[in-house]
Homo-oligomer: A and B are copies of this chain.
Amino acid sequence: MNGRQTGPNFSMSQDTQTPARLDDVDRKILSLLQRDATLSLDDIAAQVGASKTPVWNRIRKLREAGVIRGQVALLDPDSLGLDACFFVLIRTSEHDPDWAAKFLSAVRARPEVIEAHRLAGDIDYILKVRVRNARAYDRFYQALISEVKIHNVTALLSMEELKATTALPLE
């Protein structure tokens, strides 16, 4: 056991989570796993300069604390024929909770919506949408505006994905 602080960890505050206390070894482990989760415990232990058991205990704790959310396979959009990617900027005139709930469930229900954010400023929402082609985007767009009333939409078409990563910056 090292001389660090003990006591309850990973607690919540009301709105924003208090960040987990991580040391350099934790960060190194996370950095490796968020790039390649197929690494074996032996590999990770070797690369962080520790042995299997402590590394395994750290990973378990990071999972329990929700720092590690899950482990997924990343698929190639082009291989799946998903050649078109749009960023959709949405302005709405409605701001009542009913509208927001309907919009939210519409967005969550559609698998072509990869990402959705509520924004500050004059644009209310941004969506990232992956579809087969422009026609498929139009179908999506028509379906969306028939479900929820939207004041103004701007679609930005991606010509080229310069960078795309799921790895978060660890300081």
The CA of A167 and the CA of B114, in the complex, are separated in Å by: 7
In the complex, what's the smallest C-beta–C-beta distance from A170 to chain B, in angstroms? Answer: 7
Name the residue of chain B whose CB is nearest to the CB of A12.
Answer: B78
The CA-CA distance from A50 to B95 in the complex, in Å, is: 49
- A contact patch SS: mixed
Contact call A157/B119, Cβ cutoff below 8 A: yes
Interface size class of A (residues with CB under 8 A): 35 or more
Verify B117–A87 contact, CB threshold 8 A. Answer: yes
Question: Which A residues form the contact surface with B (CB < 8 A)?
Answer: 10, 16-17, 19-20, 22, 30, 33-38, 65-83, 85, 87, 104, 107-108, 111-121, 123, 125-126, 130-131, 156-170
